[in-house]
Chain A
Amino acid sequence: MRGRTVVIGLGGDARGDDAAGLEVVRSLRGTLPSSVVLTESSGDPMQVVTAWSGADLAIVIDAASSGAAPGTVHRDARPRATAWRRSSHALGLADAIALGKALDRLPGELLVFGIEGGDFGLDAPVTPPVRAAIRETADAIRQRLG
């Protein structure tokens, strides 16, 4: 591995499977080279753009709602402005990418994992298929960065 790497988990803890991205980052703590920066974000584009500024590689994990089976891991996914992400906020990864582009602050390489959620209800627990997808995604990231 070379250059600066950041791993950014997006989501919210209050809405069930929306926490998938955050949980991936939490499960990666202590298991990656110390040079890898791990960040959790609610999806605020200014925060995301700041987090990946100057990085050679940014890996972003977000919950997805595309109609696929819950627990499906979309690799190298590209979010659309409204349909892709089931977000508890109006702003999200698509905005962060657009903002990064406008400010010339995109990472050298951007790798996006989308984890298809099943239940985004208030205070719902993360569902079993999404738990499995969190482990699968964390393994894939460890493999890439280990």
Chain B
Amino acid sequence: MTHKTIRLGGLSRVEGEGALLVRARDGVVTDLQLKIYEPPRFFEALLRGRSYEEPPDITARICGICPVAYQMSACQAIESAFGVEVTGPLRDLRLLLYYGEWIESHALHIFLLHAPDFLGYESGVAMAADHRDHLERGLALKKAGNELVATLGGRAIHPVNVRVGGFYRVPRPRELAPLAEGLRRAREHALDTVRWVAGFDFPDIEHDYRFLALRHPGEYAILSGSPAVSDGTAFPVTDWPAHVVEEQVPRSTALHARLDGTGGYLTGALARYALNSERLSPLARSAAREAGLGPICRNPFRSIVVRAVEVVHACDEALRIIEGYTEPDVPAVPVDPVAGVGHGASEAPRGTLYHRYRVDEAGLIAEADIVPPTAQNQVRIEMDLRALIEPHLDLPQAELAALCERAVRNHDPCISCSAHFLELRLDAR
């Protein structure tokens, strides 16, 4: 029996670094560990003893790509502890900020990280020279998203204008009006992007996913909603700890999430689409139809099409909010801290992001719990990889590595707080 351990180049096009270890014996994968994510336990500890006002800014630093998601889940968790609800134009402004982040994050993933997989390039940069028109469209989309985040968030990265109860400062209608023009163009670019990515050649692979995403009665849930599962169950955010349990497993530093006792569910673009596609804006719905997406998409490679559809929706809804905007009377609703526990969840670009805080009578954080989407998807991504690798163990190493990289990138994992460099170690006998 021969034994080989081969080290292969990193998963360069996921946000951050990580490692994949595969062990196979006689054509069967016996062990597979993906080490892509360091859960934000450090931040949970850091938050203890801090004022209730601090989690939005502190947790925003966990991710350079989706700080708004962290801010929105944090704010809503603390507001729920205090019995505060942010509604009307203040909620619209939060949505607007969040749509900006979605457009930016999805554009990065679609154009620079995911599309090269389908067009046979090593990287987005290598692809750029041959596909300038597409990349230019990506830049225009990024710019529209960036302007929303900078205008609402106070600056382009790590927004500083968000607070529990609302904002420090709200924009005047004349500050938002100029953004509309850029968004109208961005919406056209987004529609073109859906047509472009829908024409890619997709591997014929479907998985029997168990999806989890927030669901909202009136919108394609991004900012808030109740967790819903594709098996038909649903529960309020306050019941999250009873349904989703993270546990330590041997030989891994990552926590593995289980939903109602079973691991391996999926959150993110495919889950949102499967559970909420009828709530997409009419334009996004028709783009999805034209792109050949049914009501549910189980092919992870096609998630690039779903993300493009979500960009259409984000542009469309952002425009609707700007056109109907009236300036709120106050930038934030009053907040009176009381002792209690609060739960908040929102749909980060990569999936459901849950926060829970216990606040004491002095308004200080006594406990913090953050469950990010990539930690939830970890087991499911490993299942995707196992299914993909086993029939292809005879492939040349480089080809197998490329296939694994694609399978991971399909789920746009956010691993930016990880300090590892990704490498693939395959031990096959």
Contact = CB atoms under 8 A, between A and B. Distances in A.
Contact of B16 (A39, A45, A47, A90): A90
Contact of B125 (A43, A44, A90, A102): A102
Interface in B269-285: none
Interface of B: 10, 12-17, 42-43, 46, 61-62, 64-65, 104, 107-108, 111-112, 123-125, 128-129, 132, 135-136, 138-139, 142-143, 146, 155-158, 416-417, 419
A90 B14 contact: yes
Contacts of A123: 42-43, 46, 61
A140 to B, nearest CB: 23
Most chain A CB inside 10 Å of its own CB: which residue of B14, B62, B128, B143: B128
Given A49-B139, A90-B14, A41 B157 contact: yes
A37 to B, nearest CB: 11
Interface in A81-123: 88-91, 95, 98-99, 102-105, 120, 122-123
Nearest to A95: B125
Contact of B135 (A42, A43, A103): A103
Contacts of B417: 14, 88, 122
9 contacts: A22-B157, A41-B156, A46-B112, A46-B142, A89-B15, A89-B16, A90-B10, A122-B42, A123-B46
Question: Do most interface residues of chain A lie in helix, strand or loop, or is the interface mixed?
Answer: loop
B112 A91 contact: yes
Contacts of B139: 46, 49-50, 53, 103, 105
A47 B142 contact: yes
B156 A40 contact: yes
A40 B155 contact: yes
Contacts of B135: 99, 102-103
Given A13-B61, A88-B16, A102-B125, A47 B156 contact: yes
A12 interface: yes
A102 B142 contact: no
Q: Top 4 A-B pairs ranked by shortest CB distance?
A: A42-B64, A102-B128, A14-B61, A102-B129
Interface residues of A, number: 30
A90 B124 CA distance: 13
Interface string A36-66: 0001111111110110010000000000000
Contact of B65 (A42, A53, A105, A122): A42
A19 B127 CA distance: 30
A86 B318 CA distance: 36
Contact of A39 (B64, B124, B156): B156
Contact of A90 (B12, B46, B128): B12
Given A40-B155, A41-B157, A90-B17, A50 B416 contact: no
Given A13-B61, A98-B125, A44 B132 contact: no
B146 A47 contact: yes
Given A89-B64, A90-B12, A40 B157 contact: yes
Contacts of B138: 46
A120 B104 CA distance: 26
Given A90-B15, A122-B417, 14 more contacts: A22-B157, A40-B157, A43-B64, A44-B65, A46-B139, A47-B104, A50-B139, A90-B16, A98-B128, A99-B125, A102-B135, A104-B132, A105-B139, A123-B61
A98 B139 CA distance: 15
Most chain B CB inside 10 Å of its own CB: which residue of A14, A22, A43, A98: A14
A103 B125 CA distance: 9
Contacts of B17: 90
Nearest to B18: A90
B64 A46 contact: no
Nearest to B64: A42
